[in-house]
Amino acid sequence: MLVTTMTGCALVFCVGSGVEIFGIAVLIVAMCLISMAIFAGLFVNISSLPSWLQWLQYLSLFRYSLNTLTINELTGLIFCDSVSNSSSPENCMTGEQYMDKQGIDYSTWGLWQNQMALGIMALSLMTLAYIQLRIVPRYK
């Protein structure tokens, strides 16, 4: 959650340092966050999207955060259907099966891969914000 927050703040700093008008900066950040939320895999399954749109999932900070939280919370759990009042194996699903269905790599490297992606996004956005602030003319 900390790395997700840092990445979100880095996005806001990057946009805010490049736009002079506050209202436009808020609008750009809102559009970025909404488009990231759409391609995170929470609202729409990524595999159901057209192939020419699937690459946008790699730009979504919510995707990496959601994958990390899913791996953390669902690994080792078993979910059974409570409607049928039986715990037979055909009515149960493990967390790993769910993550396989969603296309989430739940290995140790998969967990850290998502964290590294968020860290790299935060670092690159902060670097862009720094460069944009260095370009701004100073008033004396």
SS (HEC) of 3-32: HHHHHHHHHHHHHHHHCCCHHHHHHHHHHH
Could you tell me the two tokens for 31?
A: 């559009």
In a 10 Å sphere around its CB, with 0-12 CB exposed, 13-18 middle and 19+ buried, how is residue 63 labelled?
Answer: buried
Tell me which residue range forms the domain holding 28. 2-135
Q: Is residue 86 part of a domain?
A: yes
Q: Is residue 50 part of a domain?
A: yes
Q: Confirm if 10 and 126 have CB atoms less than 8 A apart.
A: yes
Q: Is residue 11 part of a domain?
A: yes
Q: What pTM value is reported for the model? A: 0.81
Q: Is residue 140 part of a domain?
A: no
Give me the tens of pLDDT residue by residue for the chain, a chain 140 residues long.
999 999 999 999 999 999 989 999 999 999 999 999 988 878 887 778 888 988 888 899 999 999 999 999 999 888 887 765 555 667 788 889 989 888 888 888 989 999 999 999 999 999 999 999 999 887 76
Query: How many domains in the chain?
Result: 1
Q: Is residue 62 part of a domain?
A: yes
Q: Is residue 98 part of a domain?
A: yes
Residue type, 67: N
